[in-house]
Amino acid sequence: MIYSFLNQKGGVGKTTLSIHTASEFARRGQKVLLIDADPQGSALAWSNFRESPEFTVVGMPKATIHKEIEMLAEDYDHVVIDGPPRVTELARSIILASDIVIIPLQPSPMDVWASAETVDLVKEAQTFRPKIKVCMAVNRKIANTAIGRDVRKALKELKVPVLKSDIGQRVAYAESAAIGSTVLGKRMSKPAQEVKKFVNELRRIT
């Protein structure tokens, strides 16, 4: 299964969600490839700090991913693609390579507006590959705030499923990234439980 994390807007947490999704699959005994397709190379940089690699990370910010994905994926149970910001040919290639496109966004009006452009890109790709699935994921949600609740109402206009498993705004994600780790080391912690629920929901969609 090929999962891609894309949004036209930067800073929505694509890399954090990509890394944690790949890590959670690996901890479940799956063989996982994470493709860093963002020219900034954040996931690749993160991987250089790891002490014990759980999964393979490669950099591939090229608009030929959809042509090469079959060969890249053949030895893996799951492929996770960390996509770039901005609407580009690279983003289109990633969508065509995907089984499911996850659009992360923070609970803000600007993120909702930017996400609409990514939704349009996916719909465009679905004319060529109708089986591509798409969903939205609320990331960096601050608990018990009005905007955290209201974002779901705004997203209804996009007519795209929104995952119920929100990811909270937690310093643990930034702290773990700084040392090439994830929040999943402490399996019973709240951040780890969030990720597990998030991945469980993704699996139900696919």
pLDDT tens-digit map of 44-95:
999 998 877 899 999 999 999 999 999 999 999 999 999 998 768 999 999 9
Which residues, in sequence order, are CB contacts of 137 under 8 Å at separation 6+? 17, 102, 103, 104, 105, 162, 163, 165, 166, 167, 198
How large a percentage of the chain has pLDDT more than 90? 61
Q: Could you read off the pLDDT of 13-41 as tens digits, one per residue?
A: 899 999 999 999 999 999 999 999 999 99
Containing structural domain, residue 134: 2-199
Number of folded domains that form the chain: 1
Is the confidence at residue 121, as pLDDT, over 70? yes
Q: Which pLDDT band holds residue 147 (cuts at 50, 70, 90)?
A: low
Q: Looking at the domain assignment, is residue 137 inside a domain? A: yes
Q: Looking at the domain assignment, is residue 205 inside a domain? A: no
Q: Looking at the domain assignment, is residue 135 inside a domain? A: yes
- For 187, the enclosing helix (H) or strand (E) is none
Q: Looking at the domain assignment, is residue 192 inside a domain? A: yes
Give yes or no for a contact between 61 and 84, defined as CB atoms under 8 angstroms apart: yes
For 13-40, b/e burial (b = at least 16 CB within 10 A) is bbbbbbbbbbbbbbbeeeebbbbbbbee
Residue 169, domain CATH:
3.40.50.300
Phi then psi dihedrals of residue 177, to 5 deg: -60, -35
Q: Looking at the domain assignment, is residue 13 inside a domain? A: yes
Q: Looking at the domain assignment, is residue 206 inside a domain? A: no
